[in-house]
Structure 1
C-alpha cells in the first residue's frame, strides 16, 4: 500500500510519523505501526470522504486521531482500535452513515476513546469491548436534537429526542456504568423496540457484569415480543443487508442466526413457533421451517418423556401402601 506520511518531532525531539492518507483503493485499511519511524498520529482529513473504505484497523502505536480523519466515509462499517488513543478531535467519524460497530481492545483501562466516539456521533453504534476480565457487547441508541423557537421569550430552546444521549452518559472517563446502562432498558423499549431488541440480544450474547435481574428483564421482554420480532426478520429475509463483514448488526440481520438465538435460549413460545413456521413455509424458507419444527418436536418429546416418568412413578406406588414396589 502506498501510504502518505509526514515526519514530525515531539517536544522531546523524538521523531515519529503522521499518516496523511493512502494513494491506493482499499476496502480494509490497516494503519501500519511503522514506516521508517513509528506511526503515532492520523492526520487531519487523512481519509475523509473515501467511498472505498469498509473496515479500518488502527494499531496501538496511534495515540492521536486529528480532526475529520474519517469524516464522510459513507461505506465505513467497522473500526477496530485500542485504548491507546488519548486524543481524538471532533469530526473523526462524523457523517459516516454506514458506521455500525467500534471494536476496542482495552490494554490500559482507558475509556477515553469510547466516550469521545460516542460524543462525536448521534447515530446508533455498537461497541465490542475486550477487557482483561471479559468482553462486553453494548448497543448505544441514536438520538436527535430538536430546536424549538420560544417566540414569547425570544429564545431558541432545544430538546433531545431518543434515549441515545442517556445511554452515552453511562460511559465515564473512569468507568462504564453497566448497572445504569441496563436500568435504561425500560425507556428504550418504550421508545424504539428495534433497538431494544438489539440491546437485549447483545447483553445476553456477551453478559459482562449482567445481573440476574437484568438478565431476567431482557429475557422476558424478548419472549413477550418474540413472534412480532421474528416475523419481521422472516419477512425481510430476502432484502439485501449490504456487505456483511461480521458486525453484530450483520448477525442481527441474518435470519437463521437471529432465530437460532431465540430457540437456543427458549425465548419463543411453542405455539408461536408453529405460527412462525407457517409464515416461513409460505415464503419457501425451508431451513427456517426445519429449525422451528425441530424446536417444537423437541418440546413434544420432552413433554412425552415427562409424562412417561410421571406414569412410571404412579405405577411404582402400591395403592394404599405408599411404598415403592420394586422388582429385583
Structure 2
C-alpha cells in the first residue's frame, strides 16, 4: 500500500481516470476529516458507489494510505464515527449510496462543483443538518438537493470569495400518511413550518426573496420559536439580497425575543455579534439588566462589558452598575 501525506488520515481505494481520481472506497479513523484535493497532482473528481458507506465491501483498485502523522495503535477505521467531513473542491460526481449509513455525520463542507448526486447518496445520514458551501454561482442546485432529501432543520452557510455571503436556516417539517379507517384510505399531511423553505427553489436556483416571503406565513402557523429566532438573526447578520421591509420584520421579531437572542449569542461566544444585535434591536431598559445577569451566570466577561457599555450609553441614569462576575 502506497503512503502519501495529507491533512487527514484515510485508507483509500482509488482508480485513475483521464479527468482525475475516482475514490472507490474511503475509510477514516478520525471524527473530523477532509478528503484529499489531489493525489499525485491529479484532482479528486468522483466518489464511487458506497464509497464511504460503513461496512461496504472491498473493490478492485489501487490502495493508498493518506497520513497526517503517526497513528495511534488503537485507531478504529470506521466511518460510523465520522461527524464532520470536507469534500474536495474539485469533486464533480458522487455515486449511489456514497455516504449511506454515515449515521453520525452532522457537518458537510463542500463546494458547488458536484453536478451529480447518486441515488440514496445521503440515505440514513439522520444527523446531517449543517452545511458549509463555497459557492461559484451553482449552489442553488446543490442546496435544492439537500433541502429536498433532508426534511429536518438545516443550517446552511454559503461562502463566496472566502467570505460568508449568507447563512440560512431551513425549519424542519414532516410528511405523514395517517390511516383513515372509516374511509379506507390514508390521509397525507404535512406538519411543521419548513415545507415551503425546503422547496423555495426555481430552476435549481436559490430564490432569497421567496425564502424571505415565507416568514410571515411561518409565524402564522405552529412553529419552533428558537428556530425562528435563529433564522431571523442569521438573515440580519448576513443580509444577502435582504430588502428593508423584510429586515424590519426580522428585527421586530428579535426585539420581541431579545433575551433568547442574547442567550443564543452568548452560547456562540462572539461579543462582536452581540454588539451587532444590540445595534439592530435597540433593547429596552428592562432587557439589558436581564442580559447582564445571563452574561454573569456564564462568566462571559467580554459579553458583559458590551452589555454594560450599551446600558451606560442608552440609560446613563439607570440601575447601579455591577461589574462583578
TM-score bracket, normalised by the shorter chain, equals 0.7 to 0.9
- Aligned equivalent of 1:112: 141
Structure 1 residue aligned with 2:46: 41
SS at match of 2:143: helix
Query: Which residue is 1:5 aligned to?
Result: 13
Specify the alignment match of 2:197 in structure 1: 167
Determine which structure has more spread, i.e. the larger CA radius of gyration: 1
> Which structure 2 residues correspond to residues 1-328 of structure 1 after superposition, within 5 A?
1-7=9-15, 14=18, 16-36=20-40, 37-49=42-54, 50-109=79-138, 111-131=140-160, 135-189=165-219, 190=221, 191-230=223-262, 233=263, 253-254=267-268, 257=271, 259-278=274-293, 280-281=295-296, 283=297, 285=299, 287=301, 288-301=303-316
Q: The residue matched to 2:239 in structure 1 has which SS?
A: coil
Cα distance, 1:86 vs structure 2: 0.9
SS in 2 for 1:265: helix
More strand by share: 2
The structural deviation recorded for 1:134 is: 7.8
Q: Secondary structure at the match of 1:123?
A: coil
Residue 40 of structure 1: SS of its match in structure 2? strand
Distance 2:237 2:176 in 1: 34
Q: Check 1:40–1:286 CA distance in 2 against 1; reply closer, same or farther (3 A cut).
A: closer
Verify the 8 A CA contact 1:188 1:195 in the aligned structure 2: no
User: In the alignment, is the contact (CA less than 8 A) between 2:15 and 2:24 conserved in 1?
Assistant: no
Distance 1:38 1:3, change over 3 A: farther
Gaps of 5+ in 1: 235-250, 304-328
SS, match of residue 51 in structure 2: coil
CA deviations 1:22-56 (Å, max 9, x no partner) are: 34412332222333554221122222342332322
Give the superposed CA RMSD.
3.0
Paired residues in the alignment total 280
1:194 to partner: Cα distance: 0.9
Task: Compute the displacement of 1:116 (Å).
Answer: 0.8
TM-score normalised by length of structure 2: 0.75
Q: Please, what TM-score do these two structures have when normalized by structure 1?
A: 0.74
Shift of 1:83: 1.7
More helix by share: 1
Cα distance change, pair 44–256 in 1 and its aligned pair in 2 (3 A)? same
Give the Cα separation in 2 of the matches to 1:192 and 1:128.
Answer: 20
